[in-house]
Structure 1
């Protein structure tokens, strides 16, 4: 029967080691998952620690292991400092996973006049972080170039064009947009416009490539004015839709680089008197909860944002805990997006509403 500790008695590694008849070093290494300790011993030590109420000192553990158990996340700089709902989902999952491992998350913003690399360098030099998670990767990303030479564990949510030598988890963005175009074509659409993101961001570039490949494969002509890059917020989406509605030959569907852009497009179309889902179909990408809340519900290519955050958290902690493993071994994971069908995408109507001819006022 487990011994019940007195209320004022503090269970230490020394007391735990004495109770088990093991050395303090063995107990400490077992609690910290050192590979030279037998699994049977690790299980025995952990069972006794649970029964006797041992709680390790976070500070002592970190000093003993020489690991800063804090992961840094530098918020990507954005015009106007808008909140990115996708990143919020990633951070939620990341923070949850780190907490389960008794690690901390340090989120840092980029001050005006600085860049993300400066902030990362400052955090490393101050000893505040033991690793990084990088999001919204660019095709050629100076953050990745910096971290490659920093000798600190890091994981990218996304990839760069050259991604062979670091850990990442990404969505197959190109395939996702091939699937989205194929779905629209299957509904009967042949005139499909595209609201794309910043071409410097790798995910936006890949989604653009998927749209171009699938429209070509399906024999869909991309009329002048159908493609708009650099659409990063609702206002930009509204302006792009205004331009599209001025075209003599309207598209019957709009494929959007993110859910946020798609929702901006839906609002703009509704403002122009166009019945979204009936007169004009719209598809987004992300699978964010807000897409289900609007009317009509947003058809979207869904990615498991929260689970992505959890997974990159597991990868970066494992990487930090295995600092002596071969540098050539990296977790590189490619997930697929899945189509979530709602009311915003349907077979094309015969024509747009007459009151849409004037565009958006």
Structure 2
């Protein structure tokens, strides 16, 4: 016979309503009472009926992580794995479960979040990406559903979001190369529909402009957040008659492709080409040579996104909680950008 709340209450010497409050993490329940009740639950093997609890509270204590469309990009890029680790860690601490979903296209993504939220399977959504004029963001915003965007929305700047100052981060990366004496600096970008690609390109261009340096269209190459994009970019860059002496790369994984392409073409980093990228994933310092990279606090992005979404859910999506959180960045200088032009 299944153990009930009444069984737990009787054994703990409290009322059934107190046990219910312990299960919902009610702030009026003392730490001592909560600990005692939970110990009794463990002793008796009690497991709350989540479905029944959901019907009463009208909440699910679950949130959805909406993945990017490309599974290849997701599972080959440490950025997303670390982001999800931060989300799951904080959600678990706050008593929330995670449901992961995706869609093959924007229409399927909208249908997916609509089905999950309107069917009361989750209380809110975390989007791991920010696109220009994103229909998923539009649907969530216009229907008043709790959500947090990891990135920045150009059309809904007041939506709940967690981001870096990607314009400034890219500016800092480019100025670092300029401080080494480089005047011909290229940029390996990501998909142009992603806001992060646009912001980092803007920071790169601002730094060149502020330093009075030339910016050539052929020094900018767009691609995906994949090694192959960086590899292909090198075939193009290194065959230019007036090639760059340094490059800013939008992502560490893309930068690994850059290094592979340069190695096959018999060029050395940083002797022939200096390199700075973004994200500072753990294997960046293990590459050959170790990568200079902008540390954007990936884990903190996910952890904070989970925290602010759950806060919004628990406060009924009150607009006073709708604000943009900025996670600080820092440049980690390693061997890939240790050469100044004067030393070449």
TM-score, normalising length: structure 2: 0.88
Give CA-to-partner distance per residue, 1:83-137, whole Å, 9 cap, x none: 3331121112212222223321111232479531122122224332221001110
Q: What is the deviation of 1:265?
A: 1.0
Give CA-to-partner distance per residue, 1:115-166, whole Å, 9 cap, x none: 3112212222433222100111013211110111333321111111134432
1:85 and 2:67 equivalent?
no
- Residue 309 of structure 2 aligns to a residue in which SS? helix
How many Å separate the matches in 1 of 2:303 and 2:170?
Answer: 25
Q: Alpha carbons of 1:183 and 1:58: their partners in 2 closer, same or farther (altered >3 Å)? A: farther
CA contact under 8 A between 2:182 and 2:341: conserved in structure 1?
A: no
Q: Cα RMSD between the aligned structures?
A: 2.7
Correspondence for 1:4? none
Q: Alpha carbons of 1:251 and 1:82: their partners in 2 closer, same or farther (altered >3 Å)? A: same
Q: What is the deviation of 1:194?
A: 0.7
Q: Alpha carbons of 1:9 and 1:65: their partners in 2 closer, same or farther (altered >3 Å)? A: closer
1:150 and 2:143 equivalent?
yes
- The structure with the largest alpha-carbon Rg is 1
Which ranges in structure 2 are unaligned for 5 or more consecutive residues?
Answer: none
1:344 and 2:344 equivalent?
no
How many Å separate the matches in 1 of 2:10 and 2:312?
Answer: 29
How many Å separate the matches in 2 of 1:149 and 1:304?
Answer: 30
Q: What is the deviation of 1:180?
A: 0.7
How many Å separate the matches in 2 of 1:64 and 1:79?
Answer: 37
How many Å separate the matches in 1 of 2:34 and 2:296?
Answer: 37
Q: Alpha carbons of 1:304 and 1:80: their partners in 2 closer, same or farther (altered >3 Å)? A: closer
Q: What is the deviation of 1:19?
A: 5.1
Pick one of 49, 55, 77 that aligns with 1:63: 55
Q: Alpha carbons of 1:203 and 1:9: their partners in 2 closer, same or farther (altered >3 Å)? A: closer
TM-score, normalising length: structure 1: 0.84
Q: What is the deviation of 1:322?
A: 2.1
Which ranges in structure 1 are unaligned for 5 or more consecutive residues?
Answer: 1-7, 353-361
CA contact under 8 A between 2:12 and 2:40: conserved in structure 1?
A: no
CA contact under 8 A between 2:73 and 2:225: conserved in structure 1?
A: no
1:48 and 2:36 equivalent?
yes
Correspondence for 1:25? 17
CA contact under 8 A between 2:237 and 2:243: conserved in structure 1?
A: yes
